[in-house]
Amino acid sequence: MEELERILQEHGIKPTANRLLVLKALAECHRPVTMAELEDSIDSIDKSGIFRTLTLFNEHHLLHQIDDGCEGVRYELCHATGDVDDDRHVHFHCEVCHRTFCLEENPVPSVQLPDGFQAETVNFMVKGICPDCAAKGKTTHTHHHH
Ligand SMILES: [Zn+2]
Ligand SMILES: [Zn+2]
């Protein structure tokens, strides 16, 4: 838990029992999770408590919010170390098993914006079939049949 406390303090967040629990759940996932998945893994905090904590983490740049384009928003910890978010990576959404993966080796390509436009967040989601599903011979068409 000490490591988790340090992460909160580094982001200017006062460590509380609930915040540490939410942080621990996110840290153990290693992939972006939905609100429903977080609720499943945290029994002792209600949905609004989890949501408030996520909002706080987001305000302190400890969280990435990722829109997977079909199931809504997913959350993951931001592993950037400095003031600049250097942990913006590409995500991959499998259209067969509906899991979203972090492709940490693939940084989000920088986009040259026209004059006057300032980027706040970037969502870079690739969709297709993950290696597990491809190995089982599944295609994106199979799940439409039933
Ligand atoms: Zn898959
Ligand atoms: Zn990620």
What's the pLDDT score for residue 145? 46
Q: What is the pLDDT of residue 107?
A: 86
Domain CATH code at residue 137: 1.10.10.10
What pLDDT sits at residue 20?
96
Beta strands across the sheet bearing 73-77:
33-34, 73-77, 63-67
Residue 10 is encoded by which pair of tokens?
């580094």
Which ligand is nearest the CA of 134, by number? 1
Q: How confident is the model at residue 123 (pLDDT cuts 50, 70, 90)?
A: confident
Q: Which ligand is nearest to the CA of 68?
A: 2
pLDDT confidence of 146, banded at 50, 70, 90? very low
Report the separation in Å between the CA atom of 73 and the middle of ligand 2, taken as the mean of its atom positions: 12
**Number of structural domains in the chain:** 1
d(C-alpha 127, C-alpha 70), whole Å: 11
Q: For residue 107, how far is its CA from the centre of ligand 1 (angstroms)?
A: 22
CA of 69 to the centre of ligand 2 (A): 15
Would you say how long the chain is, in residues? 146
| pLDDT tens per residue across span 93-118 | 899 998 888 888 888 888 889 999 98
pLDDT digits (tens, 9 = 90+) for 24-80: 999 998 888 989 999 999 989 999 999 999 999 998 889 888 887 666 788 988 877
- Give the strand pairing for 63-67 and 73-77: antiparallel
- SS3 for the chain, per residue? CHHHHHHHHHCCCCCCHHHHHHHHHHHHHCCCEEHHHHHHHCCCCCHHHHHHHHHHHHHCCCEEEEECCCCCEEEEECCCCCCCCCCCEEEEEECCCCCEEEEEEEECCCCCCCCCCCCCCCCCEEEECCHHHHHCCCCCCHHHCC
Q: How far is CA 46 from the centre of its chain?
A: 20
Q: Are 111 and 123 in contact (CB under 8 A)?
A: no
Residues with CB under 5 A from ligand 1 (ion): 94, 96-97, 130, 133
* Cβ proximity of 67 and 73 under 8 Å: yes
Question: Domain containing 111: what range?
Answer: 2-144
Predicted structure pTM score: 0.74
State the pLDDT at residue 109.
83
